[in-house]
């Protein structure tokens, strides 16, 4: 009986870790694309501004992760141990990790690695690729065959495009 309880607990933790990674990854990719679209639409595209944009994307991701972790902590409404808030915040690392490639693209244009004008298209493509890969991985974890998994990944990427475009138009 104890072995089955331990196995269920391990499986539950494994599924929870997957959910944390996937949720943070999707949220981070959409956030990064939306931020770049909004900053590009209302700002300039000089190298100096791209460095500023990189900082804003990173700060926004960190603030979102803090707010989201704190919301999870509060939403549980259970007695908390002393360090539970830190565990809730730690679980938000995928959100921040997924925006780092976008931050690097923007910072790289600031440092002269590539042109600052138009880097938003590369950032957008990168984040849509991330959404595709996350959809593909999720489908494979769900035991879907490769053709079906590829379609799921494409569907997730398309949904990401729709969300990012709608978000950019609203802002």
pTM, 2 dp: 0.87
Q: How far apart are the C-alpha atoms of 111 and 86, rounded to whole Å?
A: 34
pLDDT tens-place string over residues 89-123 = 888 999 999 999 999 999 999 999 999 999 999 99
Within a domain: residue 7?
no
Within a domain: residue 108?
yes
Provide the 10 A C-beta neighbour count for residue 111: 14
Percent of the chain clearing pLDDT 90 (strictly above): 58
Within a domain: residue 4?
no
Within a domain: residue 92?
yes
pLDDT tens-place string over residues 129-142 = 999 999 999 999 98
The structural domain count of the chain equals: 1
Q: How far apart are the C-alpha atoms of 63 and 81, rounded to whole Å?
A: 23
Which residues in 63-102 are b (16+ Cβ under 10 Å) and which e? Answer: ebbeebbeebbeeeeeeeeeeeeeebbebbebbbebbebb
Question: Which structural domain, as residue segments, surrounds residue 76?
Answer: 25-170
Structural contact between residues 38 and 56, judged by C-beta atoms closer than 8 angstroms: no
Averaged over 15-39, what is the pLDDT? 89
Q: How far apart are the C-alpha atoms of 86 and 99, rounded to whole Å?
A: 21
Q: How far apart are the C-alpha atoms of 132 and 129, rounded to whole Å?
A: 5
Within a domain: residue 57?
yes
Within a domain: residue 45?
yes
Higher pLDDT, 145 or 69: 145
Within a domain: residue 85?
yes
Torsion of CA 19, 22, 25, 28, to 10 degrees: -60
Mean of the per-residue pLDDT values of the chain: 88
| Phi and psi at residue 79, to the nearest 5° | -60, 135
In the prediction, which pLDDT does 88 show? Answer: 79
pLDDT tens-place string over residues 40-53 = 877 778 999 999 99
In the prediction, which pLDDT does 57 show? Answer: 97
Q: How far apart are the C-alpha atoms of 104 and 123, rounded to whole Å?
A: 9
In the prediction, which pLDDT does 54 show? Answer: 96
pLDDT > 70? residue 3: no
Within a domain: residue 9?
no
Higher pLDDT, 35 or 89: 35
Averaged over 138-164, what is the pLDDT? 92
pLDDT > 90? residue 80: no
In the prediction, which pLDDT does 6 show? Answer: 62
């Amino acid at each position: 009986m104890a072995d089955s309880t331990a196995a269920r607990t391990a499986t539950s933790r494994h599924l929870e870790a997957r959910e944390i990674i996937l949720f943070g990854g999707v949220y981070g990719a959409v956030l990064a694309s939306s931020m770049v679209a909004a900053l590009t639409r209302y700002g300039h595209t000089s190298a100096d501004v791209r460095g500023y944009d990189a900082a804003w994307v990173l700060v926004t991701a960190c603030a979102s992760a803090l707010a989201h972790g704190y919301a999870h902590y509060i939403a549980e409404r259970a007695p908390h141990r002393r360090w539970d808030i830190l565990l809730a915040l730690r679980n938000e690392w995928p959100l921040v990790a997924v925006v780092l490639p976008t931050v690097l693209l923007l910072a790289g244009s600031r440092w002269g690695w590539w042109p600052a004008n138009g880097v938003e298209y590369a950032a957008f493509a990168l984040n849509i690729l991330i959404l595709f890969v996350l959809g593909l991985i999720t489908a494979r974890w769900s035991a879907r065959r490769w053709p079906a998994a590829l379609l799921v990944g494409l569907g997730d990427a398309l949904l990401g495009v729709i969300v990012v475009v709608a978000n950019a138009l609203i802002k």
